[in-house]
Chain A
C-alpha cells in the first residue's frame, strides 16, 4: 500500500564557503536546475574577504539562507549549517562544485526507499579541462586512516592492515548527504578537523555506530577544485601541519577504541614516516625551494606533538546539543523563469545570466573524433556546434572516444570520453571478415551505455549523431530518446567513388541508410548534401523531420581581422588550401596559373596542403607527384608558386591572414569551410559552382563562382581580383559581413536548436 499521503522528502543543501564568490555563484545558479524541487540552500560564509555575502543578497535575495561563521574551520562551518538546516536531509556540496540536475532526485529515491538509511553519497568527477577523471566513487576508509577514493568495483579486496569489519564507506566532502536527525544523534562534526578528514571521520563514526550508509553509483557532482587558503602557490606548499595532525588524530581516535592503542599508535607512526618520506623525496627532487623544506619539517614536528597529544589525551570537540530547526524550510527553486544551463566552470558567456524565453535543451552530441585529438571534419563541426549551443544557454554533452571514461568541462561543454575496445561485443562479426564494423559497433555500444548513464544524472532531451561511423546506431535502435542524424559527406558516397567497395563498406552504407530512415530527424549542412542523400541513399525526408542548417565557424573578433593589405606595387598573394588531388580541382588551378601570371605577373601562389597523388591515381599515371609535375612543366614559374605541403592549424591561420585572396576550385564540396575561413579574415574567395560553395559564395559580391573544370574562367576570375585592389577590399568586406550574418557558430546552433525543438515537439516517431 503506497503511502500517498506522505509529503515529499525535503533537503537542505549546505554550502560552506570562504573567499570564492565566483564559483559559489556558479554553484547557486547550477542548483536552479535541480529536478527535485523540495529543498532549501544554506550558505555558511566564513571570515570572507570578498563580497560573497553581497552577491548572494543581490542575485538570490531571500531565497538563500545565509549563516555567518567566524572561524576558518570547515567542521565548525558544517555544524552551523546543520543547526540552521530545516530539511530532513542535509546535503553538503563544496563551493567549487556543481551537482548534476538529478542529484537530489536520485538521493531522494534512495532515502524514500529505505527509512533505515542514515546517509547517501555519490560519484564525483574532477571535471577540470584536461583532467576529467573520476575523483570519487565507492571510497573507503579504515579506522587506521587507510583510504581509497576510487573503487570502480566496490567488492574488490583491499590490502589493508585494518580488518574488513573496521573499514567503512566514506563520502567525499563535496558530495555527502545525511539525515539531519542521524547527524544530530551522532553529535555532529568533530571540530578538531579544520578542513581534512572531517568527511572521513563522520563516515567512520556512522559505520562504527552500525548505521546504514549507501554509496550510489550515480548521484553525480562535478568538482572543479579551486584555489583557496589551504592550497598554496607551489603545488607542494601544503598545509603539512593540518594534514599530518588530522591523520594522527583520526587514527588514534578511531583506531584506538576499535583495535587497541598498540595498533593505532603503530599505524600513526607509519603515517608519520610516510609523510616525512614524502617531504624527503620532494626535497631530493628539488620541489621544495625557497625555504619550503624547513617550513614543512617544522610543521610536521608540530603536527606530531599536537596529533599524539590530542589523539591520546584530548577530547573530541563536538558542537554540543543541536535542537530542532530554528526556522521552517526556505524554498529555493523558482519556477517562473528559465535560466541558461550552467557548467561547473560558470556560464559559457561570462556575465550573461539572463533568463531565456524557453527552457534550455539538454543535448548529447556524438562524434568519435573531437579536439584536441582531431581538428578536422566532423570533429571540427561538432566542436563548433557544441560551443555554439552552449553559448545559447543549452546544456551540451559531447560523447567521444578516449582511453577510458572521463568527463571534463571545456568552455561550458561537458566532454565525455568512452572506450568501446574490449567490450567484447559484436565480436562475431570480426571473425566473419568485418573487423572495422566490430570496432564501430563496440564504440556505438559504449556511446549508448554512456547515454543511458547520462540520463540518470541529466534530463537529456535529444541525441545528435553524425552520419559517419555509426556512433548513434545502438542508441537509435534502443529507441529511448529522439535521435537526430547530422549528415555531411556520406561514407557511402565516398565508398562509391572508390573503385570497388568492399562488402564491409557496402554493409556500412546500408546501415547508414537505416540511420537516416529510422532517425527522428535529419539535418543536412547544405542543400547539396540533401540532394546527395537522395541520390546515394534514396532518402527523401519522408517519414521524419528534415532540415538544412548551414554550418558555420566561430568568427574572429573584429580586432583580429587584419586590414586589407595596401597595394604597394609588390606581390599579390593567392592562397590555395586543400589536399593536392583531382577532386580539389588541382588540375584546373595548375592550368590557370600560367595564364594568370602571363596577364598579372604580380600574382604569387601559395599552395598549402599535402600531396595526395599516390591515392588519386595521378602518381601512377605520371610517375611524379603534383608539386614535381608542376615544377617540371613550368620551371620558369617556380619562383611564383610555393608548395608548402602539410601546415599546422596555427600556420594556416597566418596564411589566411596574410593572403590577398583565396582560391579553391574543388570539383565538389559538400560544404566548404575553407571559404568561410578566408571570409572570416575579410578575404575575397573563388570557388566552383558545385555543391556547398554555391550557398556560401555570392558570385560577384563576396568573390567569384566559376564552373568546375574550366581553367579559363578560373584564370579570368583570378586576374580580375589580382589586378583590382579596391575590388578585393570590397569583396573581402562583403564576405566577412555575410559570414557574421549567416555562418557563425551561434547561427548554426540556433538552426540546430530550432530543429531539435521541432523533433521533440513532434514526439511520435514512425
Chain B
C-alpha cells in the first residue's frame, strides 16, 4: 500500500538525484528530434518527404512510450499540417500519384542511399505510397503507419479487389518482419504483379462477406488483431460486415473503416458504435475527403478500438 509519505519520499529521492539526467534528457532529446523531423517533413519536397516519413516511423517506434497512440497522433498531426500549410499540395500529389498508374511490381526506387535498413524501410514506404489503390495519399500513409505502428500479427481485410490496400499493409508487415493478412472479396481482381508481392503473407478467401467471415475466422484461433472494412458500402452491408467481424476480433483489436465519410458507411459506423458501447471510437485517423460528383463523398478512415478484456 503506497502512502503519501512514500510518494513524497520518491519525489525527494528524484530531486536528490542528478537534475540534468540521462533517461529523461535522452528521451526529451528523442522527442525534440521527432519534432524537428516533422518540421523537415513538412518543408521537404516529395523526395525528402519520403525520407521524412521513414525517419518519423523510426523515431516513433524507437520510443518507449505509448507507441500506438503516438503514431496515430503524429500521423494525424502531420497530415493536418500538410493539408493546412501546403494548400492543395496533398491533393495535387494524390492526383499525380493516382494518374501515374505506375506498375506495382516496380516500386519507385528508394530515396535514401542504397543498402541498410533505413533504405529498405524508405523503399517500403515509397512502394506503399505508390501502390495502385483506391486511397488518397494521406490514407495510404495512415494505413501503412497503422500496421507499422500497431504491429498486428493477424489482419483481416474485407474488400480486397485489386489488392492495393493489401499491398500497403503487407509492405508494413514486411517492415515489421511478421504479420498474416486474410483477404476477403467476392470478385477479387488482383494483378499477378501485386499477388507476387503479397502472396508470402496473404491468404485469399473468395466469397461474399459477411457470410464467409466465420469461415476465415476458423483459420485464426486467436482472433484478428486488426481489421480493415472496405467492402459493401451500403448501410446494411457495412453494418453487417462490422457485426460479423466483431465477434472474431482479438481483445484490444482495432477495426478500421475505409470511406468513413460516405454517408451510408458513416451511419453504419455510428449505429454500430451505439450498439456496442464497449467499443472506443478513436475517430478519423485520416480526415481527407474525396467528393465525387454524382456519387457522394468518399474517403476517410475511422478507427474503433476494442476493450483489452472481453
Contacts and interface: CB of A to CB of B under 8 A. Distances in A.
Please say whether chains A and B are actual partners in one complex: yes
Contacts of B74: 403
Nearest to B1: A503
A278 B7 contact: no
Contact of A285 (B7, B25, B96): B96
B44 to A, nearest CB: 8
Interface in A441-493: 441, 444-446, 448-449, 452, 473-474, 477-478
Interface stretch (A66-74, A424-432, A524-532): A424-432
A434 interface: yes
Nearest to A149: B36
A510 B4 contact: yes
Given A474-B14, A510-B4, A153 B19 contact: no
A153 B39 CA distance: 18
Nearest to A133: B35
A292 interface: no
Interface in A648-689: none
A425 B14 contact: yes
Interface stretch (A207-215, A415-423, A743-751): A415-423
Given A277-B47, A286-B92, A474 B15 contact: yes
Contacts of A473: 11
Contacts of A137: 32
A469 to B, nearest CB: 14
Interface residues of B, number: 46
B266 to A, nearest CB: 17
A282 interface: yes
A287 B42 CA distance: 14
A419 B11 contact: no
A404 B32 contact: yes
A275 to B, nearest CB: 11
B34 interface: yes
B136 to A, nearest CB: 16
A593 interface: no
Given A423-B27, A424-B23, A403 B35 contact: yes
A405 interface: yes
Contacts of B31: 403-405, 419
Contacts of B203: none
B294 interface: no
Interface string B1-42: 111101110111011000100011111111111111001000
Contacts of B64: 422, 424
A282 B46 CA distance: 8
B307 to A, nearest CB: 16
Contacts of A616: none
A507 B4 CA distance: 6
Contacts of B88: 286
A735 B275 CA distance: 45
Contact of A405 (B26, B32, B48, B86): B32
Looking at A406, A425, A437, which has the most chain B CB atoms within 10 Å of its CB? A425
Q: Is the interface of B mostly helix, strand, loop or mixed?
A: helix
Contacts of A567: none
A286 B93 CA distance: 9
> Chain A contact residues (Cβ within 8 angstroms of B): what range?
35 or more
Given A285-B89, A434-B2, A153 B29 contact: yes
B23 A511 contact: no
Given A403-B74, A429-B7, A445 B48 contact: no
A507 B7 contact: yes
Interface string A11-29: 0000000000000000000
Contacts of A277: 47
Interface in B248-301: none
Given A150-B33, A281-B46, A285-B96, A421 B8 contact: no
A284 interface: yes
A569 B213 CA distance: 62
Contacts of A282: 45
Contacts of B46: 281, 284-285
B47 A281 contact: yes
A439 to B, nearest CB: 10
A477 B293 CA distance: 63
B41 to A, nearest CB: 12
A446 B11 CA distance: 12
Nearest to A425: B14
Contacts of B86: 287
Q: Which of A286, A422, A445, A507 has the most CB of B within 10 A?
A: A422
A687 to B, nearest CB: 33
B214 interface: no
Contact of B10 (A131, A281, A285, A428): A428
A200 interface: no
Interface in B53-73: 63-66, 70, 73
A284 B96 contact: yes
B309 to A, nearest CB: 15
A152 interface: yes
A514 interface: yes
Nearest to B23: A424
B3 A507 contact: yes
A286 B90 CA distance: 11
A152 B30 CA distance: 8
A135 to B, nearest CB: 9
A422 B65 contact: yes
Interface in B85-115: 86, 88-89, 92-93, 96
A76 B48 CA distance: 34
**From A403, A428, A473, residue with most partner B Cβ within 10 Å:** A403
Contact of A287 (B7, B10, B47, B89): B89
11 contacts: A134-B32, A150-B33, A152-B30, A403-B34, A405-B35, A423-B23, A429-B6, A452-B19, A477-B8, A477-B12, A503-B1
Interface of B: 1-4, 6-8, 10-12, 14-15, 19, 23-36, 39, 45-48, 63-66, 70, 73-74, 77, 86, 88-89, 92-93, 96
Interface of A: 131, 133-134, 137, 150, 152-153, 277-278, 281-282, 284-287, 403-406, 419, 421-426, 428-429, 432, 434, 437, 441, 444-446, 448-449, 452, 473-474, 477-478, 503, 507, 510-511, 514
Given A282-B45, A285-B93, A404-B34, 10 more contacts: A284-B96, A285-B45, A285-B96, A403-B74, A423-B23, A424-B24, A426-B7, A429-B7, A514-B4, A514-B8
Nearest 3 A/B pairs, CB to CB: A404-B31, A152-B29, A281-B45
